[in-house]
Structure 1
Amino acid sequence: MLYLHPYYRPGAQISLNLRSCADDRTERNVQVTVVKAFTPFTMSQVLLVNINLPVPDILPAGSTSFVLKVYDPRFLQHRKGTKSSAPHPWTLAAETTAARRRAFGADTFLPTWWPDESDTAGWEQYYFANLQHLFTTELAAYTRLLPLQGKSIPLCHAQGTLVLPTPATRMVVPRVLLLSYVPGPNLRAVNPARVAPAVGRALVDTVRAFGALGVIHDDLRPDNILLSPTHDEPSRAFVLDFGNAQLRAEHGNEEWEGALAENDEPKLVELMLDKLGIRHRV
């Protein structure tokens, strides 16, 4: 597990500058208290937080618990190293050099290659660009999928930035999303006999609707699907994590239809449910 920074620990106070996902013209400073971190962090850092009163007017009245996703490249799991890449721990010096390169217009594209192992600033740019892409893709996907928010995907309440603790020396201001909290087990943790076929069928229909609304999830797996509200009698499936999504704007119409057919995510979900023993035929 990666080192858990003090501002991600339970009880920590975090300050956010947020704008509504529906209307990004009004920014509010919002204070939250960390309830727990959903570890291990892989890409974004995912936290359950409570909004400190008073709840700002850009959030629903009466709601205090939310999921906060922070897109901070400092805490990527990949930094620990892989079978084909050495560890690349965060340093302020490398982050500063990468930011200075960006200020001069260098390395502003999304890298699709790994930098040289000795290029510490190159790795910082690689991580930074990927986290920025992850954030913008996930926000765009939630916007496309607005008709499904609160029904089969979480509500996207607000987006903005993390206010770093003072004195702030970082050269990166992490982006954040504030989403509705969906309680319940993931698809792998539920008792298949407790899931009604209609719930499984609705999940397949949800994924089919993604394509019609211009989104291919591209990371469908049991960990990214929650069944709510309880282990005993879940009544609804929610799909999470759209950072890897493909969006229709990236393709022409013919190319998009080809991408939908190639991925065939409704069929993928049916096969996943069959493997887990969850009924979906009604």
Structure 2
Amino acid sequence: MLYLHPIYQPGAQISLNLRSCADDKTERNVQATVAKAFTPFTMSQVLLVDINPPIPDNLPVANASFILKVYDPRFLQHRKGTKSSAPHPWTLAAENTAARRRAFGANTFLPTWWPDDADAAGWEEYYHGNLQQMFKNELSAYTRLLPLQGQSVPLCHAHGTLVLPSPAKRMVVPRVLLLSYVPGPSLRSVNPSRIAPIVARGLLDTIRAMGQLGVIHDDLRSDNVLLSPSDEPSRAFVIDFGSSEVRAHQTDDEWDWTLAENDEPKLMEMMLDKLHIDHSG
């Protein structure tokens, strides 16, 4: 049976400090109850949560259920080891050592570098740096994709930090995103005959629109596309922008070249073809 930390088990209470994605001037403390954990956790921890009343005025009162993404390096699946990397279990001492190094300006680490296996603090810096970048990528992507929010990507309601259970001795405060819940199956798990061509074409239009708005997803796969509603899908939602590339200072020509090099609409067409999903017309 998969071990699930008590703070992520159904019924667990979570405290969050949140700012609205639309207006981040005011931070509010919000209490939530975990309804479900979407395991196994790979990078961020993805939870279905219910916001406890009173619902703050920066969240929709009509819907108290949300997706909470927690960017806590403690629970990364990569820690268990891979074919090319030994296991790197979390320890408070190594995490705090890495945090103290950052505080003294000793952070010369890039997330693409792999530390030596014996460098426990180096691995904590590696994991911390990667999750910080993923959080930044997602928040930046949702900001760029505001015209698509609620239509073909989830709504970004709030961002902030997880309030660690007391007594907390950690120097790392995990970042969080609060998103709308899309209660539908993934593209991979749906019988192709249930997906109308107009839904598939709408998905391709979404991928093109993302590029025009300045976002390359960079992790397009069937698990990152959800179909809603579950019984008769009429819309496809693209999720999980942690690996995305967001346009910064590129000129129009430079960005057009980047879009052409990645050609995500073509990649999505190939994925639909492989799944035998009709997108003609």
The letter for the 1-side match of 2:255 is: W
8 Å CA contact retained: 1:108, 1:129: no
1:178-207 deviation per Cα after TM superposition (whole angstroms, max 9, x unaligned): 000001110011111111110000000000
The alpha-carbon deviation at position 111 of structure 1 amounts to: 2.6
Partner of 2:246: 247
1:247-279 deviation per Cα after TM superposition (whole angstroms, max 9, x unaligned): 110644333212111111011111111111111
The letter for the 2-side match of 1:162 is: L
- TM-score scaled to structure 2, two decimals? 0.98
Partner of 1:144: 144
Q: Gaps spanning 5+ residues in structure 2: where?
A: none
8 Å CA contact retained: 1:15, 1:31: yes
User: For structure 1, which segment, 256-265 or 16-25, has the greater mean C-alpha deviation from structure 2 after superposition?
Assistant: 256-265
The alpha-carbon deviation at position 18 of structure 1 amounts to: 0.3
Identical-residue share of aligned pairs (%):
77
The alpha-carbon deviation at position 61 of structure 1 amounts to: 1.6
Q: Does 1:28 align with 2:28?
A: yes
Equivalents in 1 of 2:89, 2:98: separation in Å? 14
Equivalents in 2 of 1:253, 1:195: separation in Å? 35
1:32-75 deviation per Cα after TM superposition (whole angstroms, max 9, x unaligned): 00001000000000000001011111101211100000000001
| Runs of 4+ residues over 2 Å off in structure 1 | 108-111, 250-255
User: For structure 1, which segment, 47-56 or 241-250, has the greater mean C-alpha deviation from structure 2 after superposition?
Assistant: 241-250
Matches within 5 A, 1:126-205: 126-205=126-205
Partner of 2:266: 267
- TM-score scaled to structure 1, two decimals? 0.97
Matches within 5 A, 1:62-101: 62-101=62-101
1:105-127 deviation per Cα after TM superposition (whole angstroms, max 9, x unaligned): 11155331100111100000000
User: For structure 1, which segment, 15-24 or 255-264, has the greater mean C-alpha deviation from structure 2 after superposition?
Assistant: 255-264
Partner of 1:14: 14
- Indicate the RMSD between aligned Cα atoms, in angstroms: 1.2
The alpha-carbon deviation at position 3 of structure 1 amounts to: 3.6
User: For structure 1, which segment, 102-111 or 258-267, has the greater mean C-alpha deviation from structure 2 after superposition?
Assistant: 102-111
Alignment size in residue pairs: 281
1:188-235 deviation per Cα after TM superposition (whole angstroms, max 9, x unaligned): 1111111111000000000000110000000000000000011x3100
Equivalents in 2 of 1:150, 1:49: separation in Å? 18
Q: Does 1:60 align with 2:60?
A: yes
Equivalents in 1 of 2:112, 2:270: separation in Å? 31
